[in-house]
Amino acid sequence: MSAAWTVSRRYLWSWLRRSPSDAARVLLWTGVETVPALLSGRLVALSVDTGFLDGAPVVGVLWLVALAACAAVGAYGARGALARTAAIVEPLRDALVAYTVAASLRRATHDDHWRQDLSGVARMTRQVEIVREAVGTLITVVSRFAFTFAGVCIGTLTLDGAAAALIFAPVIVSVACYVLSLRKVARAQLRAAVASEELAQKAGELASSLRDVTACGTEEPAFRRLEAAARETARAEELLARLNAVRTVVLGLSGWLPLVLVLVWARWGDAGTSAGTVLGVLTYVAQSLRPAVQALVQGLGTTGVRLFVTLGRILEGGEEPAVDAPGPAVDGDTGTGGGAAVTLDHVSFAYAAGGNDVLTDLSLHVTPGEHLAVVGPSGIGKSTLAAVMAGTRTPTRGHVTMDGAPLRDIPPERRAYLPQEAYVFTGTLRENLAYLCQGEAEEGRLAEAVEKMGLHELADRIGGLDGVLDPDRLSSGERQLIALARAHASPARLLILDEATCHLDPATEACAEEALRRRGGTLVVVAHRISSARAADRVMVMDGSQVRTGTHAEMLAASPLYRDLVGLWHADAV
């Protein structure tokens, strides 16, 4: 639960920060919406004291007309705030839908469970709708409460300082206690949901096997299993009910107590207090503060908890969606900018929950512009490491950062991951090469990539950059060269090659790697030839749970496994 809570909170927070102008507009419009909260009590007080009680009913009515005008301004503000909130939540929904579909398809291609995963798409897109609605509601209730509270504070203070203290003390204390209890409520809600699901499942199992249970005479243990699940459900529901009772207390304290205190103060308090002031303070509490607190408590308690539980379920077990996935690059940088630093901090990874770790507590720092070769015996986890570094797999434990930021905060075009099977689609060579570029790719950049990867012959054959490629008529090596040229032309500051040159002959491979090295940027290569390892600045040898790094010469001296691998590569080469 706490992981889901943290992931959801972090994701939502980074989403809100992604577009500060939209957030500012929401706040601006909410300010307009809550103008009545600021002025209503004051206008009522003026209407009573300087109008109706002062023998000037027309003046009183005019103040009430001003109050109606305030309400109209508030309604206009509510309309604007709603539209601005939509500008935040609609792209969030799009990003989450894209993420859930991509994650399901990715799992389907990895796990051979495509049927289950496609049903997962439908389930998760429904969850995305819940998240969209809940985020909208939360933005509305929290910002509305903040502005209303501030407006009522200012308004009441202009009427009477003592009354203001009577109102705010109970509201602040009870709302703070409530907010602090929310995490517990979320946990209890999840526990109750899991317990009732389990009870339903066990009851279903028992119902379908009643005949066998009776035949084997195992009624007693079967009953005990069901009873244990029922008790757990009851305990979880009881806890949830107790925590929800806190909400009733909060609503009572923050909604009704100020009203009672104001009435007591009016009766026994300062004798000089006018009837208009009392009515004004009551208007602030009853018309503005109470509804805002009620909406906040309901919003946080029900919608907020549902949001965190649902978003946690969407994000669990996969890479968090890139916050700016649907939007433009953060700063429009198209250069490699000298390469990115990549850090793995105590990373572990297992393919199945509870399964054996493929990577165990692995820490590594790749410096900007470094060329790292990863080597090790087959099945040791080199491809897994490459996928974790690229962000296509999420560590089970630990963190991966790029330039100090979590991978999910890095625009996807900043890193390129090339697996063994090169992806080439039917389309022009230009389209294939520009695939990782944002928007229009520079002609010079594409031409350079063609030249560096030795693709000019292929380009001439098909009629230049605008010639159409048929992937079925390309050799595996040509497909790999196209993928490498695409990486060369891309703005990625980190290139990860997972045996992406395995179909090239050694000389072409060496040229391609050298071209990528000269291009700038950080280069991580899962190497399968000595030339690859020797050309790298640093070699990382994966040997079971042990990981060592050093130069080619250092590794030859220090790692028997590396010496074996080099020996094998030499033998393969002759």
Quick note: the x/- pattern for ligand ATP over 445-484, rule CB under 6 A, is: ----------------------------------------
Q: How far apart are CA 250 and CA 539, in angstroms?
A: 61
**Binding window for ligand ATP (CB under 6 A); candidates: 94-102, 380-388, 474-482, 489-497:** 380-388
Q: How far apart are CA 51 and CA 64, in angstroms?
A: 10
Q: How far apart are CA 564 and CA 560, in angstroms?
A: 6
Which residues 356-375 are close enough to bind ligand ATP by CB under 6 A? 358
Nearer of residues 380 and 400 to ligand ATP, judged by Cβ? 380
**Binding window for ligand ATP (CB under 6 A); candidates: 10-18, 117-125, 194-202, 378-386:** 378-386
Q: How far apart are CA 542 and CA 565, in angstroms?
A: 11
Contact in structure between 25 and 139 (CB atoms under 8 Å) = no
- Token reading at 131: 């998240």
Contact in structure between 308 and 9 (CB atoms under 8 Å) = yes
- Identified binder of ligand ATP from the candidate list 217, 354, 379, 404, rule CB under 6 A: 379
- Identified binder of ligand ATP from the candidate list 371, 382, 408, 488, rule CB under 6 A: 382
Alpha helical stretches, state H, 19-113: 20-33, 35-46, 57-111
**Binding window for ligand ATP (CB under 6 A); candidates: 71-79, 381-389, 437-445, 529-537:** 381-389
Taking CB under 6 A as the rule, does residue 383 contact ligand ATP? yes
Nearer of residues 52 and 562 to ligand ATP, judged by Cβ? 562
Helices (H) and strands (E) in the chain, counts: 21, 12
Q: How far is the CB of 386 from ligand ATP (least distance, A)?
A: 8
Non-local (6+) Cβ contacts of 529 within 8 A are 506, 509, 569, 573
Taking CB under 6 A as the rule, does residue 419 contact ligand ATP? no
CB atoms within 10 A of CB 84: 20
DSSP β-ladder status, 397-402 and 342-350 = antiparallel
Nearer of residues 341 and 374 to ligand ATP, judged by Cβ? 374
Q: How far is the CB of 411 from ligand ATP (least distance, A)?
A: 26
Taking CB under 6 A as the rule, does residue 503 contact ligand ATP? no
Three-state DSSP class for 55?
Answer: coil
**Binding window for ligand ATP (CB under 6 A); candidates: 122-130, 236-244, 379-387, 516-524:** 379-387
Three-state DSSP class for 248?
Answer: helix
Nearer of residues 135 and 539 to ligand ATP, judged by Cβ? 539
* Bridge partners (DSSP) listed for residue 494: 415, 522
Taking CB under 6 A as the rule, does residue 407 contact ligand ATP? no
Q: How far is the CB of 542 from ligand ATP (least distance, A)?
A: 7
Q: How far apart are CA 33 and CA 81, in angstroms?
A: 8
Which residues 103-122 are close enough to bind ligand ATP by CB under 6 A? 110
Nearer of residues 187 and 382 to ligand ATP, judged by Cβ? 382
The distance of Cα 163 from the centroid of its chain, to the nearest Å, equals 43
Nearer of residues 111 and 442 to ligand ATP, judged by Cβ? 111
User: What DSSP letter does each residue of 155-191 carry, written as one string?
Assistant: HHHHH-HHHHHHHHHHHHHHHHHHHHHHHHHHHHHHH
Quick note: the x/- pattern for ligand ATP over 17-56, rule CB under 6 A, is: ----------------------------------------
Nearer of residues 272 and 355 to ligand ATP, judged by Cβ? 355
* Bridge partners (DSSP) listed for residue 549: 540
Q: How far is the CB of 353 from ligand ATP (least distance, A)?
A: 12
Taking CB under 6 A as the rule, does residue 381 contact ligand ATP? yes
Contact in structure between 280 and 334 (CB atoms under 8 Å) = no
Three-state DSSP class for 47?
Answer: helix
Buried b (16+ CB within 10 A) or exposed e, 207-219: eeeeeebeeeeee
- Identified binder of ligand ATP from the candidate list 74, 255, 339, 376, rule CB under 6 A: 376
Q: How far is the CB of 128 from ligand ATP (least distance, A)?
A: 25
Which residues 320-359 are close enough to bind ligand ATP by CB under 6 A? 351, 358
Binding region for ligand ATP (CB under 6 A): 110, 351, 358, 376, 378-384
